[in-house]
Structure 1
Amino acid sequence: MNTREIKVQKQGWIPKKERVWIIVAIIIAVSIMFWELKGLSQLSLTTLHSKQFKHTFKGFGSSARIALFFVLAYYVLLRIIRLRMLKGQSKVKKWLSTLLRFTRRWHTPAAIIAIAFIILHTVAVFMHGFKFDFNNISGLVSLLVLLPVPISGLFRYQRMDRKWHLRSGIAFAILFLIHSFL
């Protein structure tokens, strides 16, 4: 065992410098979920099947979409910064690297909050009435593909994921975009 593997074993599942923000994001996500689920559970059946409620669960989906675009921005910036045409552009690369560090730092907390909104969106859709149409099926499939992403993200911290986090994340992003815009 080399020193790098020993260091990874000692640090735990989540690095110390990210642990605080991840715990804060989990607390925020759980608080949002409990608050909104409490509100959803108090609605009458006529409200659940109204057009006004449709705006409610679409609002959850829109909030998740905004957070997910921020989460996906990390991968887009990572890809852009590796482009060969930026080889001589030191000012642009410096600006992009600052932006990349910012998106990397907030990638996981934003993803946790996005997952909370996705769960709320899913619960509200099932409360409204799940219909077997393209939009609902694509959302359900993208939700199923989302399940391994946070698990492989934990393995990513341990350098044990063999790029499963990226692969399942890309698959989810494609299905999510199909669900959101078609």
Structure 2
Amino acid sequence: MSTRENNVQKRKLVPQKERIWIIVALMVSDFMLFWEINGLLQHSLAYLHSEQFEDTMKDFGSIARIALFFVLTYYVLLRLMKLRFLKGQINLKKWLSTLLRFSRRWHTPIAILAIALIILHTVAVFLHGFEFDFDNINGLLALFVLLPVPISGLFRYQRMDKKWHLRSGIAFAILFLIHSFL
């Protein structure tokens, strides 16, 4: 590969084979955000402070949690592939590599959808009434730590992130798990 071809490939923000699914995920998440926020803003104040709305708010968070667990499986599988005891396990390693390819392919599109659900969950929490308790403060901290993750993910495609995507992702995962389960 010549230097010129290498420079052309570096200029692309997202690789060609992943671009279509990322664009589809962005379109679906934009539509979902517009549709749901528009729907949330049309409810009365009495409904926004009801238990039924609290269930809706928690549903956004629960669906985002499932999506984020799928996103995190990429790193778990990547770590499993590097373990020493798998050196002689050819069949298991082939099966894990198949799962790793699948999770890598869907890592970014599912992460985009999960971020949209997190935004919906955050908007719903503020509409319902934000209280300064451990759970909500921890959720806000997780949201602030989440902000650099997609940006560093774009740098990751260019191999310029110096592991910031992984580090900020791990910090987010820890805060997210605390927020979800405590």
Report the TM-score when normalising by structure 2. 0.96
List per-residue Cα deviations over 1:119-141 (Å, max 9, x = no partner). Answer: 00000000000000000000000
5+ unaligned residues in a row in structure 1: which ranges?
Answer: none
Paired residues of 1:8 and 1:158 also in contact (CA < 8 A):
no
Name the count of aligned residue pairs.
Answer: 180
Deviation by residue 1:75-112 (Cα, 9 ceiling, x = unmatched):
00000111000000000000000000000000000000
Gaps of 5+ in 2: none
Counterpart of 1:157 in structure 2 is 157
Matching residue's letter, 2:144: L
In structure 1, the residue matched to 2:39 is 39
Q: Secondary structure at the match of 2:106?
A: helix
Residue 85 of structure 2 corresponds to 85
Q: Deviations over 1:41-100 (max 9, x none)?
A: 110000000111100010000010010000000000000111000000000000000000
**C-alpha contact 1:67 1:114 (8 A) present in aligned 2:** yes
TM-score by length of 1: 0.96
Aligned to 1:17: 17
- Paired-residue identity, %: 71
Q: Does 1:173 align with 2:170?
A: no
Amino acid at match of 2:7: I
Q: Does 1:114 align with 2:114?
A: yes
User: Secondary structure, in 3 states, of the residue corresponding to 1:171?
Assistant: helix
Q: Which runs of 4+ in 1 moved over 6 A?
A: none
**Aligned AA (1:100):** L
Deviation at 1:35, TM superposition (A): 1.1
- Residue in 1 that maps onto 2:141: 141
- Once the two structures are TM-superposed, the CA of residue 38 in structure 1 deviates from its matched residue by 1.3
| Counterpart AA for 1:8 | Q
